[in-house]
Amino acid sequence: MKLNSPLQVYKYLPQINCAECGDATCMAFAAHLIDRSKKLEDCPPLLKDEFKKKYIELQTLLAPEIRQITIGVGEHARKIGGDDVLYRHQLTFFNPTAFAYDVWDTMQESELVERINKIQNFKKFYVGKFLRVNMVAVRCVSGDALKFAGTVKKVSETTGLPLVLCSFDPAALKAALEVVKDKNPLIYAATEKNWGEVAELAMNYKVPVALFSPDLDKLKSLAATFNEMGIKDLVLDPGTYPQGKQLKETFERFVKLRRAGIKEGQKDIAYPLMAVPLGAWLIYKDAVTASYWETVLASVFIVRYADVMMLHSLEPYAMLPEVHLRDTIYTDPRTPVKVAPGVNEVGSPTKDSPVIVTTNFALTYYTVESDLSSNKINCYLAAVDTDGIGVEAAVAGGQLTAAKIKDTFQKANFDFKEKTTHSTLILPGLAARLQGDVEDATGLRIMIGPPDSGRIPGWMEKNWPPKPK
Amino acid sequence: MTKKIKLSELGSLFGGLDIQALEGVKIEGDVEIDLGQLGFNPQMAYALGHETAQVAFHLLNISRILGYPVDQMLGGQAAAPKRLSKLIESKFSVGKMEEWKTPIQEVVLGATSSDGGSRKSTVTLGGENSLPYYFDSPMPHRNYVTMDVFDMPINMAKAVKSNYEDVINSPAEWAKKVVRDFGADMVTIHLISTDPNIKDTSPADAAKTVEEVLQAVDVPIVIGGSGNPEKDPAVLEKAAEVAEGERCLLASASLNLDYARIAEAAKKYNHVVLSWTQLEINAQKELNRKLMKQCGVARENILMDPTTAALGYGLDYAYTNMERIRLAGLTGDAELNFPMSSGTTNAWGAREAWMVSSPLKEDSDWGPREYRGPIWEIITGLTLSLAGNDLFMMMHPGAVNVLKEITQTLYGSKETEPLNIDNWVSAVL
Ligand code: SF4
């Protein structure tokens, strides 16, 4: 965006501090516009006629450097692009890379439906939500426009996920568009050869369109030409070569395009980028090797700037790391990741099992939890609400206190007399200095665990069950 | 890009193009105008045709100055979509990062006989002038992998363990195997049995293991303690002594143990110190500063381990921490411009890497774990390689193989036959 301080934004706001936006002052609201946690439309006065000019000006000034476009319709519609920074710590990345999985028009119908269901039903639980994949890319392999359109029809009847229609033949794209014209699919792709006809389709059907050329001069020429024709919902595919020097150059193209778009403000190429890790299957025929290499390619381009990618492997060992890495890169670094406070069971605890305390900082919590479960330690694990801060810092900062610990068990209705035979609580080693306070506050026996949850198994061997008083 | 032309030259630029929209506009005089400094008006471009648009825009500006009613003339034409019959030929270019002025320190691990050691080869890390694999400046050295060897049998994920069953009781054989069979560039000997809570092996006995490993292989080695802050300084001191002159990496000095003793051992016996902090850039600065200023460790003897968290278990912190450290180093922070090392083996702590199946019934099937573990290690390492990590401490041979393949491809040392991808859309996979 062109503005970078709340003060600059403030100048365009109504400056009446009416608080309708939920912020006490226009200045506070301005700060939210800068960090992109609120939208212009959250300020009702700004939408009135008298501020229309400022509103329109702000729209331009606050627009992200990389154009944001939408593919698909309804609840599954997916936004891509919209980034403003080159490194996630500078703000955050927006709109996680959309994963489009391919199907093709020579598949048997039953096979097709099965594959689509695998794509749309995939889910992986992670920190309170499910990670999923997002789109279906239909490839025209037959070369037959009617057959392609038929497959696209079947796909759109089977799933509400956004579609990518893939063919370099404008006639095939047109036939498919006729079938799904109200679904806002992405069409792939315009090239140096077919661009005129594909542009015509993008204009007539008002759909986003991908431009493909590994030659950045050509790619920029295509983008400038489409832009000139008024087609602005563009995705750039600079070609993903799966190996060797060509892969190195592919990596460089992604870096160059994004740097030009964000750092140099080159509007001509400031569009979402597409990577095609699926190309791994062009060089490896063995499914495991191809899936591994596809995952490797996907990872490189999740980190470096792909906004949408074409994938083929539905193997869990490919999909799991891919969805996790995308979450890794797109998680907002400004907000610590938290888990819900409470007392959770790890394994199947009995009355003799230990009760262990940690914080609700997701990283700490999941580390402790996996250390316990991987060592088959049945226990209760309490996540104390420390605002998502780790143990050591929370003790120092006063977010982890005896009162908070007591509160956690009370809110969870966890009665030590009823749930345990030992009325004992284990504090993390890094919270040892809270021992006396917690003893006083809870009346429980307090033991101090190791400073690293990785040492809990050894600690347990020596210290559990607790010796009778 | 600024190009100056005379108004009188404009006519020739319009040659053969549709300039109907300019009918009625006459330009007189010979005013010099500046191309490329003023903005670009899409409506104007629309009206005039792209190839003349930029020139015409300035022409119109001038016309406006000269009093011609160009705005009226252009009004009302923006609605109909525009068709072009020719591509707007454009050139793409982008600048290099001028602010990356400070190179990362070069650090050599291992010493050959000419330098007072007994290694056949050495490993040089660092020296970068840009983020890894960027076009701004080629990376001077590739990434390296050091493979883990333990001084006693330990718990390992099944997929890892199956590779080491025959050598699990002999650190020397284990070390030989990773170099000979698995392509390890280096070997890390972890002296975990020295932990008082494990076997409490004495520093002297642990040092014997180090000597055995040095004799078994001729690559540079990393000497790791048990992670026990009370015991490690004594263990690493003794190990450093028996490995004198070999330029081993001593792992690690940290803020929660007596780092000065480890620094002293490195200086006295010619080794490199691994400066280890936990996901905190300021702590990393502090420790590096202390090692340099307070302990007098030379810059070329410091490597950093800013901590590796596994994919799904804090990799976001580890990644960003490393990327920030590397960017700070490149832009001139002399307390952070050191090469980095990653305990990539930590990836195996992720339950996705080792658990038979998901503990949650809502999850889609996790598939066979034999394939999940290695890829978890690969992706954890690869992600950090993109943030600037130089050296990888790893465990699974397959993971090492793939990580080396991709990092060396991006580094530029993998040659293959050129492939045509133009028809990927219709490929039968
Ligand atoms: S709603 Fe608008 S005018 Fe009212 S306080 Fe918020 S920003 Fe200011």
Say yes or no for a CB contact (<8 Å) between A282 and B378. Answer: no
Q: Report pLDDT for B55.
A: 42
More confident position, B97 or A361: B97
- Of the CATH numbers 3.40.50.720, 3.20.20.20, 2.70.98.20, 3.10.105.10, which one belongs to the domain with range A69-329? 3.20.20.20
- Reported as a single tens digit per residue, the pLDDT across B114-150 is 999 999 999 999 999 999 999 999 999 999 999 999 9
Task: State yes or no: pLDDT of A439 exceeds 70.
Answer: yes
**Rounded to the nearest 5 degrees, what angle is found at the Cα of B314, between the Cα atoms of B312 and B320?**
115
Q: Which fold has domain A342-463?
A: Rossmann fold (3.40.50)
Say yes or no for a CB contact (<8 Å) between A328 and B383. Answer: yes
Q: How far apart are CA B35 and CA A457, in angstroms?
A: 73
Backbone phi, psi, residue B272, to 5°: -110, 140
Q: How far apart are CA B13 and CA B288, in angstroms?
A: 62
DSSP type of residue B106:
P
Q: Report pLDDT for B81.
A: 73
Backbone phi, psi, residue A138, to 5°: -100, 120
Per DSSP, helices labelled H in B246-364 are 259-269, 281-289, 315-330, 351-354
Pairing assessment for the beta strands A78-81 and A98-104 based on DSSP bridges: unpaired
Closest to A251 in 3D by CA, of A291, A325, A303, A212: A303
Ligand 1 centroid to residue A14 C-alpha, Å = 7
Per DSSP, helices labelled H in A63-194 are 109-121, 145-158, 170-179
Backbone phi, psi, residue B148, to 5°: -75, 135
Task: State yes or no: pLDDT of A245 exceeds 60.
Answer: yes
Q: Count Cα neighbours of B348 within 13 Å in the Cβ-side half-sphere.
A: 18
Q: Which amino acid is at A111?
A: E
Of these ranges, A122-126, A201-205, A456-460, B360-364, the one predicted with the greatest mean pLDDT is: A201-205
Q: Report pLDDT for A133.
A: 98
**Rounded to the nearest 5 degrees, what angle is found at the Cα of A66, between the Cα atoms of B83 and B99?**
125
Q: Give me A215's structure tokens.
A: 């030659």
Kindly provide the residue ranges of all beta strands, DSSP E only, lying in B99-240, ordered along the sequence: 107-109, 123-125, 144-150, 186-190, 221-224
Pairing assessment for the beta strands A68-71 and A78-81 based on DSSP bridges: antiparallel
Q: How far apart are CA B256 and CA B274, in angstroms?
A: 14
Cα dist from A326 to A132, A308, A309, A331, B357, whole Å: 11, 11, 11, 8, 22
- Reported as a single tens digit per residue, the pLDDT across B352-403 is 999 888 877 789 999 999 999 999 999 999 999 999 999 999 999 999 999 9
Closest to A311 in 3D by CA, of A466, A113, A118, A447: A118
Q: How far apart are CA A294 and CA A99, in angstroms?
A: 12
Ligand 1 centroid to residue A57 C-alpha, Å = 17
Task: Give the 3-state secondary structure of residue A136.
Answer: strand
Say yes or no for a CB contact (<8 Å) between B312 and A126. Answer: yes
Using an 8 Å Cβ cutoff, are B276 and B251 in contact? Answer: yes
Domain with CATH 3.20.20.20 in chain B: 107-411
Q: Tell which one of A12, A29, A33 to mutate to probe ligand 1, the residue whose CB is within 8 A of the most ligand atoms.
A: A29
Task: State yes or no: pLDDT of B181 exceeds 80.
Answer: yes
Ligand 1 centroid to residue A13 C-alpha, Å = 7
Q: Kindly indicate the confidence band of residue B80, based on its pLDDT and cuts at 50, 70 and 90.
A: low
Q: Report pLDDT for A451.
A: 84
Q: Which amino acid is at B176?
A: K
Q: Would you call B368 exposed, middle or buried from its count of C-beta atoms within 10 A (0-12, 13-18, 19+)?
A: middle
Q: Kindly indicate the confidence band of residue A6, based on its pLDDT and cuts at 50, 70 and 90.
A: very high
Q: Count Cα neighbours of A373 within 13 Å in the Cβ-side half-sphere.
A: 21
Q: Kindly indicate the confidence band of residue B279, based on its pLDDT and cuts at 50, 70 and 90.
A: confident
Give me the mean pLDDT over the A350-358 stretch.
Answer: 97
More confident position, B49 or A268: A268
- Reported as a single tens digit per residue, the pLDDT across A40-89 is 999 999 999 999 999 999 999 999 999 999 999 999 999 999 999 999 99
Q: Report pLDDT for A455.
A: 84
Give the position of tokens 């940290």. Answer: B254
Q: Report pLDDT for A99.
A: 98
List the residue whose alpha carbon is closest to atom 6 of ligand 1.
Answer: A21
* Domain B107-411, CATH homologous superfamily name and number: Dihydropteroate synthase-like (3.20.20.20)
Q: Which protein residues are within 6 Å of ligand 1, measured from CB? A: A 13-14, 16-21, 23, 26, 29, 43-46
Q: Kindly indicate the confidence band of residue B110, based on its pLDDT and cuts at 50, 70 and 90.
A: very high
Give me the mean pLDDT over the A418-435 stretch.
Answer: 95
Element (H, E) at A368: helix A362-374
Per-position DSSP letters for A285-332, written without gaps between them = -SHHHHHHHHHHHHHHHHHTT-SEEEE----HHHHHHHHHHHHHHHS-
Cα dist from B325 to A331, B47, B306, whole Å: 19, 51, 9
Q: How far apart are CA B429 and CA B421, in angstroms?
A: 13
> What residues of chain B lie within 8 A of the CB of A373, using their CB?
351, 359
Q: Report pLDDT for B53.
A: 40
Task: State yes or no: pLDDT of B21 exceeds 80.
Answer: no
Least confident of A162-166, A240-244, A391-395: A391-395
Of B87, B134, B366, the CB nearest to A225: B87
Q: Report pLDDT for B5.
A: 38
Please state the domain extents for chain A. 7-62, 69-329, 342-463
Backbone phi, psi, residue A101, to 5°: -100, 140
Of B84, B197, B415, the CB nearest to A244: B415
Q: Which fold has domain A7-62?
A: 3-methyladenine DNA Glycosylase II; Chain A, domain 3 (1.10.15)
pLDDT above 90 as % of chain A = 87
Give me the mean pLDDT over the B42-70 stretch.
Answer: 41
Task: State yes or no: pLDDT of B320 exceeds 90.
Answer: yes
Q: Kindly indicate the confidence band of residue A469, based on its pLDDT and cuts at 50, 70 and 90.
A: low
DSSP type of residue B112:
-
Q: How far apart are CA B278 and CA A235, in angstroms?
A: 39
Q: Give me A61's structure tokens.
A: 């000034």
Per DSSP, helices labelled H in B270-416 are 281-289, 315-330, 351-354, 369-387, 397-411
State pTM to two decimals: 0.84
Q: Count Cα neighbours of B122 within 13 Å in the Cβ-side half-sphere.
A: 22
Ligand 1 centroid to residue A19 C-alpha, Å = 5
Can you state the angle between helices A287-303 and B369-387, rounded to 10 degrees?
30
Give me the mean pLDDT over the B199-226 stretch.
Answer: 98
More confident position, B128 or B429: B128
Ligand 1 centroid to residue A258 C-alpha, Å = 34
Closest to A209 in 3D by CA, of A379, A111, A67: A67
Closest to B340 in 3D by CA, of B122, B120, B132: B132
Q: What is the mean pLDDT of chain B?
A: 86
Closest to A120 in 3D by CA, of A328, A318, A329, A314: A314
Q: Report pLDDT for B197.
A: 84
Say yes or no for a CB contact (<8 Å) between B364 and A123. Answer: yes
Residues ≥6 apart with Cβ < 8 Å to A367: A453, B313, B314, B349
Give me the mean pLDDT over the B151-160 stretch.
Answer: 94
Q: Report pLDDT for A373.
A: 83
Taking only residues 340 to 369 of chain B, the set having a beta carbon closer than 8 angstroms to any beta carbon of chain A reads 349-352, 354-355, 358-360, 362-368
What is the number of the ligand 1 atom nearest to the C-alpha of A44? 1
Give me the mean pLDDT over the B78-94 stretch.
Answer: 86
Residues ≥6 apart with Cβ < 8 Å to B128: B103, B104, B137, B139, B140, B326, B330, B388
Q: Kindly indicate the confidence band of residue A369, based on its pLDDT and cuts at 50, 70 and 90.
A: confident
DSSP type of residue B294:
I
DSSP type of residue A263:
T
What is the number of the ligand 1 atom nearest to the C-alpha of A19? 5
